[in-house]
Amino acid sequence: MYKKHDVKVVPQYTREHITMMKKKFFFVTCLFIFIFILSATPSPVLAHVYHDDDGVRVKIIIDDVYYFDADSDGAEDDVVVHFTLDINFEGWYLYKLEAELELPSGVVYKHKFYTYEIPSNYSVLFMYNHATEPEWYIIKLECTVYANYDKFRIQDSLVFDPPKGIGGTEPLTTKLFM
């Protein structure tokens, strides 16, 4: 009456399936370890204002960036950066101001200025014959203050779009008015 069936026990997971699960577990574990290490590592984030407990305050803010024909060569290829550099510190200090202009093509122009004990001020940076390509530019100002055997770094950056004009033929020149 009853027919006997051959019952075959099939394992739920094959060897290939177990190997695949081990690989996925290893990948997910490595991913979590990587995320944990990144979140635990302090990042060198630079702000545009720095304060400390001793009353030192350093601030840099890019107020405006534009282009025009500042050197009267007939081409609107000169970048003008208006910025505020405020250093509130009692005593002697030296600072380094770095200006970095990144063109849309990836070309980066870097300029460094060193000076000491300049009071809080509004400054203008002229970058002659630098705006030579259409599209978006990035200007970054970074100030490093050396005071009391310590170093403070701050930065500010701004993205702007200069003219769709042609490249300049004059040599690159930079002037800083403080």
In a domain, 132, yes or no: yes
Distance of CA 24 to the CA centre of its chain: 35
Q: Which domain holds residue 110?
A: 49-177
pTM of the model: 0.64
Residue 41: which H helix or E strand, with range?
Answer: none
Task: Check which CATH number belongs to the domain holding 166 and give it.
Answer: 2.60.40
- Looking at the structure of the chain, the number of domains it has is 1
User: Token digits for 158?
Assistant: 């701004």
* Nearest of 81, 90, 92, 97 to residue 138 by alpha carbon: 81
For the cut 70, the answer to whether the pLDDT of residue 94 exceeds it is yes
13 located within any domain: no
CB 87 within 8 A of CB 126: no
- Give the list of residues 6+ apart from residue 8 with CB closer than 8 angstroms, or none: none
CA dihedral 111, 165, 169, 138 (to 10 degrees): 10
Residue 35 lies in a domain: no
The model's pLDDT over 24-80, given as tens digits with 9 standing for 90+, comes to 888 888 777 777 666 554 434 445 666 665 666 778 888 888 888 888 888 888 888
